[in-house]
Chain A
Amino acid sequence: MQDRQAMMLGAGASWRPAAIADWGPSRRAVLLTPLLVPLVGRASARASPRRVVVAGGGIAEIVCAVGARDRIVGADSTSLFPRGLRDLARIGYLRNLSAEGVLSLAPDLLLLAAEAGPPAVLDQLRRAGVRIAQAPRIHDPASLIAAVRFVAEALALRSEGEVVARAVANDFDALARITSSLPRRTPVVFVLAIGGGAPQAAGRETAADAMITLAAGRNVVDAYRGYRPISAEYLLGAAPDALVTTNHTLDALGGATGLASVPALSVLPAVRSGNIVSLDSLYLLGFGPRTAHAARDLADALHPGGRIPPLPPRSWLADDPL
């Protein structure tokens, strides 16, 4: 990861003279560039960035967790927690960023999730002299902890990052100890967004699948990757003990009664007995510092009877007051 960052910075530095010529019309970019050059000159001597723009809900949560929340000047539309981030300047959707929108905030660091793009825009921003740090993909506890360290490093808050990374790692270890003692893994299905047609169920290599595994559940849909509309009869045959969904989906359907009126779900014993587990979608699927706690909450719902003790409280779990 260090290598990757160094490489990115190196490339940025060598591009600089050409970039000013390319970016003629943007005065702001030209003016900013001299300010940025000292930052990228030597990675070790980097001053800590003061104007940070983030894209990616999990990354934004990490920035706040390491104590750099007051440096965020802009965020993308998926950065929704803590609530106060929604009041900042919005730079659009992380997969569809616009160069000028980001430049208008005059950031000295653009912190991105792996999914952020499009690459052409990131290239334009790099050439305009914006320092970009794009975290590697987060898909399990190890990559999440690595992302915490990556973000802290980019913010020049290494020791704060270390504290958060250790705490998150401890939370996952504690959860793993609890779940490893459970007698069985509950068979579950995760459904998403039921727009009048077949419910879409999470298959392999999805955030939902990863969360189910962390929560000592077993995803009954292992025949495909990603989220796809699922055969009602297959679901009935797979006989999940519980149905997991997001508050967002449940809300769109008008609650549990609405969900139970979807034909494919109405026939499931899990739905008939009211075994529906619903959590906030960013909390459940966002893969940020709160993920261990979300997995613990899911495990608690899948293994009722108080067998899953709570994890220690952490400062980054708290949302802003309404």
Chain B
Amino acid sequence: MSGTARLASAATPVRRATHAPHLAALALLLAAVLVVVIGSGAIAIPPGRVLSALAASTGLGVTADPRDVAVISVLRVPRTLMAALVGAVLGLAGATIQGLFRNPLADPGLLGVSAGGAVGAVAIIVFGAALVPPSLRQHAVATAAFLGALTVTVLVKRIATREGRVLVATMLLAGIVFNALASAATGALIFAADDLQLRDIMFWTMGSCAGADWTKLGIVSFATAPLLLAMRLLVPGLNALILGERQAHTLGISIERLKRLAVVLVALAVGGAVAATGTIGFVGIVAPHLCRLARGADHRWVMPASALTGAALLAAADGAARTALAPAELPIGIVTALLGGPFFLWLLLRQRARLDGP
């Protein structure tokens, strides 16, 4: 298959450092998206006043309309940055897991991250008022989602580990089992929920960046930083894995270390993302695919490019979620599915033409 050939050639470091200009272009695209999204919303604020509100909120001694400052620095900027951060994490985690499983359709959901997060969040939505003291309630859902995501992923990884080796096929199957169990647990909790809680649960599972503030942004940065910073460490191993586990081993790559590191970092980062914004689909698959389509499967390109593309995609999707139906707000999961679904279909049709031949 031509795809395999392309993957294999990409693994050999032929074109060194040629990705930089394209990555810079993607970074510019992300910056442009951020500017547009922060400049638009249900309240129209002209660009000049957006700038002075930004300056005022950073304490540069500029005076600005207090309402503008509230809109920009409390409402738009934190949630846009949160969307970009979560998008970057989902894109990068998608690329990592796809490389690890050597399957372009894999995503962190396979490890049970999203399903585990959902169990935690839904449990608190239903029983939080009974279990959590009032002063801790505002962050209880996010904390429980994070713990749920980590717990399920750790269980999946432990089951897939035998004599110090992580068996990828077993991990996939264990992931399926735990996804099913977690959905059953969520279902049982939904059964126990009342009408108001059901609304909460429904909207949580469709994702939203509306709850973002600077504190949450800081906390999520902590959970996601390890994956973003360790990206470089994962790249050589993932490139070698394209050739197969055995070949990678002969290249002197410690596959087991790579697998353990990747799973832990992804679980931590995606757990943090899910905790902050609920479950958001498609970004983790669409962003890496777009990047591979554009410039091949070399992870030196795919990893950073997926992060930048994911960030731009989710920031744009959040902007659309905020403004498309104002004054109502769309759950962001609907926007990403509306963008991702047709894209997937197009990918499928394209692939089909290639597989079936002329």
Contact = CB atoms under 8 A, between A and B. Distances in A.
B244 interface: no
A234 B327 CA distance: 6
A98 to B, nearest CB: 13
Interface stretch (B3-11, B68-76, B108-116, B163-171): B68-76
29 contacts: A195-B204, A196-B121, A197-B211, A198-B208, A199-B210, A223-B328, A224-B328, A228-B328, A229-B330, A230-B328, A232-B210, A233-B42, A233-B326, A235-B327, A246-B196, A248-B196, A251-B134, A252-B129, A254-B132, A254-B133, A254-B137, A258-B137, A258-B138, A262-B138, A263-B79, A263-B210, A263-B212, A267-B70, A267-B75
Please name the 10 residue pairs, one residue from A and one from B, whose CB atoms are nearest each other, closest first.
A197-B208, A254-B137, A195-B200, A234-B327, A198-B210, A233-B42, A254-B134, A229-B329, A233-B43, A267-B70
Contact of B74 (A77, A193, A267): A267
B278 interface: yes
Nearest to A249: B196
B74 A229 contact: no
Given A233-B42, A261-B138, A196 B327 contact: no
Contact of A193 (B197, B207, B277): B197
A236 B331 CA distance: 20
A264 interface: yes
Contacts of A254: 132-138
Contacts of B43: 233-234, 236-237
Nearest to B42: A233
Contacts of A192: 196, 199
Interface string B70-86: 11001100110000000
B141 A255 contact: no
Interface of B: 41-43, 67, 70-71, 74-75, 78-79, 121, 125, 128-129, 132-138, 141-142, 194-197, 199-201, 203-204, 207-213, 277-278, 322-323, 326-331
Interface in A91-114: none
B329 A228 contact: yes
A227 interface: yes
Interface of A: 77-78, 192-200, 203, 221, 223-224, 227-238, 246, 248-249, 251-255, 257-258, 261-264, 266-267, 281
A227 B326 CA distance: 14
Given A223-B327, A237-B43, A281-B196, A267 B210 contact: no
Q: DSSP class of A's interface residues: helix, strand, loop or mixed? A: mixed
Contacts of B208: 196-198, 229
A238 B132 CA distance: 34
A254 B78 CA distance: 23
B335 to A, nearest CB: 13
Contacts of A224: 327-328
Q: Most chain-A Cβ atoms within 10 A of its Cβ — which of B137, B204, B212, B328? A: B328
A231 B322 contact: yes
B211 A237 contact: no
